[in-house]
Amino acid sequence: MDFSNLKKEDNEIYNLIEAEKDRQMEGLELIASENIVSKAVLEALGSYPVNKYSEGYPAKRYYKGNEVIDKIENIAISRLKKLFNAPYANVQPNSGSTANAAAYFAFLNYGDKIMAMNLNHGGHLTHGHKVNFSGKSYNFVQYGVDQTTQLIDYDALFELARKERPKLIVSGYTAYPRAVDFKKFRTICDEIGAICMADISHIAGLIAGGEHENPVPYFDVVSTTTHKTLRGPRSAVLMCKQEFGEKIDKAIFPGLQGGPHEHVIAAKAVAFKEALQPEFKNYASQIVKNAKALAKYLQDYNYKLVSGGTDTHLILVDVRANGISGIEAETVLEKAGIYCNKNTIPFETFSPWDPSGIRIGTAALTTRGMKENDMLFVAEQIHLALQNKNDEIKLKEIKEKVNLFCNQFKFY
């Protein structure tokens, strides 16, 4: 990337941006919601459409001069629809939270009942947490996982749905490491007359790559971020049945947003094209292979995994079972150049700020070219760091070893 003008005009910010690039390249990025975009996506993000206001939709804007912008947005829509076999698509949401808010806004009135997974069991803040707009605006009924298996109990979920009769049911999660049976959600929604919604933000890339079931063609509405496993810019989209397209469009604009970020939409279009290439299927497959390998190696070190493993890019580790809290584990690992996040586990008995688990993912490592055998090194360094949590010298040595390892997998 050519940052010569930035370096000249604002050397302080330039140096910090370069430092962040170095941090990403020198460490093991295991945060499950993060990935590394291509240089083409980066270039689109820093391009001329950033200058343009384009409130409205293609061929129906509130400002003139959008003939080129319309073409960019239409290409993004077309590629997204092809990628997920979507009947209708809106590429304007600026974030996953906005996309979820728009889906609720399109179909519900404030105070209506929604059913979604409890945050501690793997749901998202926008799936009804009391501190979030969703929990404040709608009446959420929360389901969870079975206490023994830590898997979704679909029979219990369906029984709850029949009892509560929500107007909308959300499937899709932020910390659930197993495949979702979307067809079962469609069945219960049909039975009780509920809107059937999926939030596939974490597994969108796995769906696009053919590794997981695609709910888009037969669900009423599907939201997803465009980063994470989809490996695009930090943004979001909505897909829905054709008959709900106008509702979704009006919920985004003028309901929740003004002018869309067309430079980001251009970057989404680039990412969608990348995901449509045959090699993306290999990438999605490798993400899952790496996650399964990393899960096995961690289990070999006697770490307890929620649900006993993973079907996705994501692994949830109950580190408190090994005598360390989630916040302590993420802090120790950061000192070793290994980045993850603390996370609650199902039936958590501690605070979300000091939970029992850590959440790790393999999307970014896979983008950098790592394979299953490399996950042995990753697991070993995680274990060594946690075993030497109070030894600053040892943690520094581990970080140096991690840096040398990561130098083999430079992406930028």
Q: Which domains occur in the chain, in start order?
A: 42-275 (3.40.640.10), 287-409 (3.90.1150.10)
Q: How far is CA 364 from CA 27, 68, 133, 337, 404, in A?
A: 11, 33, 30, 14, 17
Q: What one-character-per-residue DSSP string does 144-167 give?
A: -B-TTT-SB-HHHHHHHHHHH--S
User: Is 250 a residue whose pLDDT tops 90?
Assistant: yes
The pLDDT score that the predictor gives to residue 9 is 98
Q: How confident is the model at residue 91 (pLDDT cuts 50, 70, 90)?
A: very high
User: Is 1 a residue whose pLDDT tops 90?
Assistant: no
Q: For residue 270, what are the contacts with CB-CB under 8 A and spacing of at least 6? A: 38, 40, 41, 44, 232
User: What is the distance in angstroms between the CA of the first residue and the CA of the last residue of the chain?
Assistant: 9
Percentage of the chain surpassing pLDDT 70? Answer: 100
Mean pLDDT of the chain: 97
Q: How far is CA 365 from CA 66, 217, 329, 406, in A?
A: 39, 30, 20, 9
The pLDDT score that the predictor gives to residue 277 is 98
Q: What is the mean pLDDT of residues 41-46?
A: 97
Question: For 66-119, where are the alpha helices, taking DSSP H only?
Answer: 67-84, 96-107
User: Is 26 a residue whose pLDDT tops 90?
Assistant: yes
Whether 212 and 176 have beta carbons less than 8 Å apart is answered as no
Structure tokens given for 233: 């810019």
The pLDDT score that the predictor gives to residue 69 is 98
Q: How confident is the model at residue 44 (pLDDT cuts 50, 70, 90)?
A: very high
Amino acid at residue number 88: Y
Q: What is the mean pLDDT of residues 183-188?
A: 97
**Burial of residue 130, with CB atoms counted within 10 A of its CB: 0-12 exposed, 13-18 middle, 19 or more buried:** exposed
Q: How confident is the model at residue 280 (pLDDT cuts 50, 70, 90)?
A: very high
Structure tokens given for 378: 């990753």
pTM over 0.85: yes
Q: What is the mean pLDDT of residues 280-309?
A: 98
Q: Which residues are catalytic?
A: 53, 55, 199, 225, 228, 234
The pLDDT score that the predictor gives to residue 89 is 98
Instruction: Tell me how long the chain is.
Output: 412
The pLDDT score that the predictor gives to residue 389 is 96
Structure tokens given for 113: 């009942």
The pLDDT score that the predictor gives to residue 379 is 98
Q: How confident is the model at residue 352 (pLDDT cuts 50, 70, 90)?
A: confident
Taking the C-alpha atoms of residue 254 and residue 251, their distance in angstroms, rounded to an integer, is 7
The pLDDT score that the predictor gives to residue 366 is 98
Q: What is the mean pLDDT of residues 393-409?
A: 98
What number of H helices and E strands is found in the chain?
16, 15
Q: What is the mean pLDDT of residues 222-228?
A: 98
Whose structure tokens read 């292979």? Answer: 289
Q: What is the mean pLDDT of residues 343-353?
A: 93
Whose structure tokens read 């669900």? Answer: 219
The pLDDT score that the predictor gives to residue 219 is 98
